[in-house]
Amino acid sequence: MSVNIHEIARRCNVSIATVSRVLNNKGPVKPSTREKVLQVAREMNYRPNSSARSLSTRKTDTIGVILPELVDEFFMSLIHELDEVAHKYGKYLLISSSHSSRNDMETIYEFMAGGRVDGIIIMAPKINKQIQNILKNNIRPVVLLNCDVPHNYAVRIKIDNYHGARSVTKHLIEHGYKRIAMVKGPSGNQDAESRWNGFMQEMEANGLAVNEKLILEGDFTLRSGYYAFLRLLNMDSTEKPEAIFFANDMMALGAYHAAHVLKIKFPEDIAVVGFDDIFTGRIVHPGLTTVHMPISEMGRKSMEYLIKLIEGEEELIGHEEVLSTGLVIRESCGCTQNWLPGDI
């Protein structure tokens, strides 16, 4: 049977109002009384009634999160960080995937109009005008992750995909590779397009022509990387790439699987690089050269900003922050291994 504040008040011989002030950390209470109430609450295994508290505060202590995927290693890492920060502030997560049977609009309606959440964090490849209007006119705060939309109604956090892609492309060029292929992400995806633009700009800046046959489109999955690698390796020897830039690590890891099947060695036969710096890329052999995505920082900052918005810091609305990336050099590009055990 659950314990209520009436029982705690009787046990401590204080008023219900005093117990309420202590448990909600509001109002003056003698330190000795506060300690006594907290001790009794712990002994009685008191848990606040979330429904009653929601009615009185008009808050649910729940954060809505919409992500493109839930099973990919990148998104699992992001969810882990969001949950860590939410737990620190006594919040809970309600998570939905835009690849589920529901679409983004239905989920946003349920989260916002239904009053299920106090705020929402959204990472979506595309946010159409209809969704923008819903977000702009809602009464709950919003944080957008890597969403290319006007930001005068939300906090926006972005990753510098463009310069990350340029840095890893430049690294391949500095190795002496000229026939460089790229397996892009899906069209219409902002991350994919920024990485593609970075690749193209760096190739152009170094006077290297881009062979259209060496540009393939993937969908950020292991499977698409596997088949893209097979297609590139089956090209005529005069056009076959010397190096491949996969727009994310999952596709690059698909190439690792294909290379194992074909008995092809990295980087002796061909160099490969990725983007994201997921954990698996650190432990495969050879280690995957990639671009580090500040996943933990993005998760932490997005949750902290949203909680500040929920608590009334409206001056943050419209704030935009771009998080920098960094080149992570391992062996798959032709470099010697340079990570330490602490990197894992």
Reduced to 3 states (helix: H, G, I; strand: E, B; else coil), residue 340 is coil
> Reduced to 3 states, what is the DSSP secondary structure of residue 29?
coil
In this prediction, residues 164-193 reach a mean pLDDT of 95
Report yes or no: 228 and 255 within 8 Å, Cβ to Cβ.
yes
pLDDT of residue 55: 43
> Among residues 278, 252, 250, which one has the least CA distance to residue 344?
278
Q: To 10 degrees, what angle do helices 249-262 and 222-233 make? A: 50
What is the pLDDT at residue 344? Answer: 42
Report the pLDDT averaged over residues 32-45. 87
Residue 56 has pLDDT above 60, yes or no: no
| Cα separations in angstroms, 138 against 127, 179, 294, 323 | 15, 50, 29, 27
| CB-based contact 104:87 (threshold 8 Å) | no
pLDDT over 80 (residue 127): no
**Is residue 156 helix, strand or coil?**
strand
- Residue 2 has φ and ψ, to the nearest 5°, of -75, 150
The better pLDDT of the pair 9, 218 is held by 218
Backbone angles phi, psi at 184, to 5 degrees: -80, 170
Q: What is the pLDDT of residues 226-271, one digit of tens each?
A: 999 999 999 988 889 999 999 999 999 999 999 999 999 999 999 9
Asked whether 166 and 142 are in contact (CB, 8 A), the reply is no
Tell me, what's the pLDDT at 70? 74
The average pLDDT across 140-152 equals 80
Q: Model-level pTM? A: 0.77
Ranking 97-101, 176-180, 218-222, 247-251 by mean pLDDT, the lowest is 97-101
Using DSSP, state whether 183 is helix, strand or coil.
strand
pLDDT of the residue at 338: 55
β pairing state of 119-122 and 62-67: parallel
Average pLDDT over residues 142-169: 88
Of 59-68, 125-134, 193-202, 324-333, give the lowest mean pLDDT range: 125-134
Backbone angles phi, psi at 323, to 5 degrees: -95, 135
% of the chain surpassing 70 pLDDT: 85
User: What 3-state class would DSSP assign to 51?
Assistant: helix
CA 104 to chain centre: 17
Confidence band, pLDDT 50/70/90 cuts, at residue 221:
very high
Q: Please give the full DSSP string across 97-153, using - where no structure is assigned.
A: ETTSSS-HHHHHHHHHHTT--SEEEE--S---HHHHHHHHH-SS-EEEES--S--TT
- Strands of 146-228 (E only): list them: 155-159, 180-184, 215-217
- Six token digits for residue 312: 């009334």
All structural domains of the chain: 5-48 (1.10.260.40), 59-160+295-324 (3.40.50.2300), 161-294+328-343 (3.40.50.2300)
Kindly tell me the sign of the dihedral angle through the C-alpha atoms of 154, 57, 301, 128. negative
Higher pLDDT, 243 or 339: 243
- pLDDT given for residue 339 in this prediction: 46
pLDDT digits (tens, 9 = 90+) for 294-314: 999 999 999 999 999 988 887
Residue 110, pLDDT > 70, answer no
Strand order in the sheet with 62-67: 92-97, 62-67, 119-122, 142-145, 155-159, 320-323
Q: What secondary structure does DSSP assign to 268-306, as a single string?
A: TT-EEE-SB--THHHHSSSPPBEEE--HHHHHHHHHHHH
Question: Residue 17 pLDDT more than 90?
Answer: no
Residue 118 near residue 63 (C-beta atoms within 8 A) = yes
Query: If pLDDT is split at 50, 70 and 90, which confidence band does 343 have?
Result: very low
The whole-number average pLDDT for the span 323-344 is 77
What pLDDT is attached to residue 48?
65
Gap between the Cα atoms of 52 and 16, Å rounded: 15
Regarding predicted confidence, which is higher, 157 or 127? 157
Percent of the chain with pLDDT over 90: 53
What's the rounded mean pLDDT across residues 13-29? Answer: 80
* Contact predicate 95/67, CB 8 Å: yes
Q: What is the mean pLDDT of residues 184-195?
A: 91
- Which pLDDT does position 45 carry in this prediction? 79
For the chain, give the mean pLDDT: 86
181 or 89, higher pLDDT: 181
Q: Which phi and psi angles does 327 have, rounded to 5°?
A: -75, 130
100 or 192: which leads in pLDDT: 192
